[in-house]
Amino acid sequence: MRTAAHSSAPPRAPHAFGASLSADEFKALFRGHPGGVAVITADAGAGPVALTATSVSSVSAEPPLLIFSISARSSAAATLARADTVVVHLLDAHDLPLAQLGATSGVDRFADTSAWARLLTGEPVYRGVRAWVRCAVIGRMDAGGSTVIAAHALQSRLERDVDPGAPGDALVYHNRTWHRLGAHSRIE
Amino acid sequence: MRTAAHSSAPPRAPHAFGASLSADEFKALFRGHPGGVAVITADAGAGPVALTATSVSSVSAEPPLLIFSISARSSAAATLARADTVVVHLLDAHDLPLAQLGATSGVDRFADTSAWARLLTGEPVYRGVRAWVRCAVIGRMDAGGSTVIAAHALQSRLERDVDPGAPGDALVYHNRTWHRLGAHSRIE
């Protein structure tokens, strides 16, 4: 018999439930799980940072909240641990060069000064993307050294809207490759 | 001048940064942001629940952690607030009927008793999906009444692996429609 645990009880350690998946087993699961593509920027006072993430998702529209996660190994982790605000760029297939820039290690992601600007509030924002949204960080949760961030949407710019019923040019990352959605990929 | 806030400071209220986005503005942003599709099941002692979610993403492979979010309005919210373990089914295009079942309100998602079984540990699991992973809940964070859940992967089954370099038949939800990835959608 299983018993129901109350949510106020502390979470049990994973070993109480049996073995943990290996890193290879876990990667094989998620290699086949596609994701939308975003670039997240911030500046907590020590200069701008940017990284490409496939973990951005909407939590609720009222209040307007989203989440994403950041690996402790990301070069942007220290800034995102301190930033009060972030800018989440929601990319489409036209933004593929920016997605690749934010996913490339060891490069200056702000070297092309014509590609970005600062908002009046100071955050770096890349020009010409499908959409961006400036957010206030409202919560952080540690998860095995990585950080899950919840953020409240304050201000946005939508350059390329998606028509109702039209598939647009969405960008998806899947199995280490990039895909474009459209009428050609629609199944229902 | 902006000043850097330390992460141990309490998050500022959103109004400290200006106005909040309206629900319509926020929905327009995320309508164009695609997501992979999962069905999450659990049973905290009061019967099985299932729901379709596009918020599942991997946080780290070592330790093997994932996150997802649950609206307070979901019929599965009460169970997921109490469950110690969950099963996350990572779907591909062959699993579209299950994705639709988990997204349909007011139906018994377990009526077809041939479509699911219980693991030895008690959790409900649907048969024949691309992959499923049983997880221990290791963290919960409130976000405007919704709940962000972090979970540690304990046990998995991968029925349909994705070949390296082959696009497979991934399932994506975008702008209220379903899409299948494949060679036809690959752009780089």
Domain extent listing, chain A: 27-180
Query: SS3 of B141, please?
Result: strand
pLDDT in tens, A154-183: 999 999 888 766 667 999 999 999 999 999
Distance between B103 CA and the closest CA of chain A, angstroms? 14
Residue B168 has pLDDT above 80, yes or no: no
Amino acid at B98: L
B168–A143 CB contact, under 8 Å: no
Name which of A167-171, B3-7, B100-104, B177-181 the model is least confident about: B3-7
Query: SS3 of A71, please?
Result: coil
Query: Cβ contacts (< 8 Å) between A11 and chain B: which residues?
Result: 84, 136-140
Which CATH number is B37-180 given? 2.30.110.10
Residue whose structure tokens are 């330790």: B63
pLDDT in tens, B117-155: 999 999 999 999 999 999 999 999 999 999 999 999 999
The answer, yes or no, to whether the previous bond of A64 is cis (omega within 30 of 0) is no
Residue A178: C-alpha distances to residues A167, B10, B65, B181, B185 (Å): 17, 38, 24, 10, 8
Burial class (CB in 10 A: 0-12, 13-18, 19+), B80: buried
Residue A116, beta-bridge partner list = A126
A7–B184 CB contact, under 8 Å: no
A20–B152 CB contact, under 8 Å: yes
Query: Cβ contacts (< 8 Å) between A18 and chain B: which residues?
Result: 121, 154-155
Burial class (CB in 10 A: 0-12, 13-18, 19+), A173: buried
Q: What backbone phi and psi angles, to 5 degrees, belong to B82? A: -115, -20
Cα–Cα distance for residue pair A160/B122, rounded to 1 Å: 46
Q: Please give the ipTM for the structure prediction.
A: 0.89
Q: What is the pLDDT of residue A110?
A: 98
Which CATH number is A27-180 given? 2.30.110.10
Query: SS3 of B6, please?
Result: coil
Burial class (CB in 10 A: 0-12, 13-18, 19+), B188: exposed
The answer, yes or no, to whether the previous bond of A63 is cis (omega within 30 of 0) is yes
Q: What is the pLDDT of residue A2?
A: 36
Distance between B13 CA and the closest CA of chain A, angstroms? 8
Query: SS3 of B100, please?
Result: helix
pTM of the model: 0.90
Nearest to B28 among A59, A158, A186 (CB): A158
> How many cross-chain Cβ pairs, A to B, lie less than 8 Å apart?
359
Query: Cβ contacts (< 8 Å) between B35 and chain A: which residues?
Result: 34-36, 57
State the DSSP H helix or E strand holding residue A28, giving kind and residue range, or none if neither: helix A23-31
pLDDT in tens, A49-58: 999 999 999 9
Cβ within 8 Å of residue B156, ≥6 positions away: A21, A25, A26, A29, B131, B132, B133, B134
CB atoms within 10 A of CB B114: 6
Q: What is the pLDDT of residue B188?
A: 74
